[in-house]
Amino acid sequence: MGEVASGGVSLHVEVDGEGDPVTVLAHGITNSCRELALFTPLLRGAKVRFCFRGHGHSSLAPVGSYGFAHLAGDLDAVARAHGATRAVGTSMGAGALCRLLAGDPGRFERIVLLLPAGLDGRFRAPERFLRIADLLESMEREEAVEAILADPERQAAYDRAPWLRDVDRSLWSEINPAGVSAAIREVMSDRPMEDREALRAVEAPVLIIAREGDSIHPAGVAREMAELLPNAQVVMFADEVDMFERIPLVVQRATEFLES
């Protein structure tokens, strides 16, 4: 474990393995570096997982510095500190990765975008996330987590796949209420990039993994990305439960892509 400085913030970093190639993994909003730990045992070289500002074990940032430009800065700082040539980003992490690529199209040699949520439009389904921010700001941490897990949409998923509840509870166990609520409010009013056309300059191979029927990570966003990126392929799952039930396949496809 270690730390990387980014714009006055101290980012928590965990490195698995050593040597080349070096892969940086960027998690989604509300989560931490633990979210993408399933990928690390299967990849060669060094795997660098980190917590974005205000998330997990990283320090808080001032209000007004949780937008995608700042998140892309966090990703870039960690990648440069460890010499990463490949990148994986999920949801918010995918947005930060796209923001970085928009300004530096040749930044990485191979890229995986897991559940991208937006392009040059604002993130979807902000009401659900803004409710999470309200809960984190108005309740004690444990009480807020229980209220979040009781969300009707989550309960519907748990009814179909009860084991998802334990997965969610594990991911929420490291929540940083102040940082995550600030990040939610700023990310939901921001957009990953200014102009989606910038993705056309990214020549690296890109794997996009998405699922149908996801209001937060629309399948249409993944398809639009695939049309913009010159060397992209898409893996599409039927829905959330289908995707989680086939997590080994998700990991396998992503690792095979990164290793090819």
pLDDT digits 0-9 by tens, 138-176: 999 999 999 999 988 888 888 877 888 888 888 887 789
pTM for the full predicted model: 0.93
The per-residue b/e assignment along 45-69, b for 16 or more CB within 10 angstroms, e otherwise, is bbbbbbbbbbbbbbbbbeeebbbbb
> How far is C-alpha 7 from the geometric centre of its chain's CA atoms?
20
pLDDT digits 0-9 by tens, 73-120: 999 999 999 999 999 999 999 999 999 999 999 999 999 999 999 999
Hey, what domains does the chain have and what are their CATH numbers? Answer: 2-124+191-259 (3.40.50.1820)
Distance CA 186, CA 53 (A): 12
- Count of positions (residues) in the chain: 260
pLDDT digits 0-9 by tens, 32-64: 999 888 888 888 999 999 999 999 999 999 999
Nearest-10 Cα torsion for 163, 169, 172, 173: -130
Number of H helices, E strands in the chain: 10, 8
pLDDT digits 0-9 by tens, 201-225: 999 999 999 999 888 899 999 999 9
Residue that is written with structure tokens 């928590």 in the block: 12
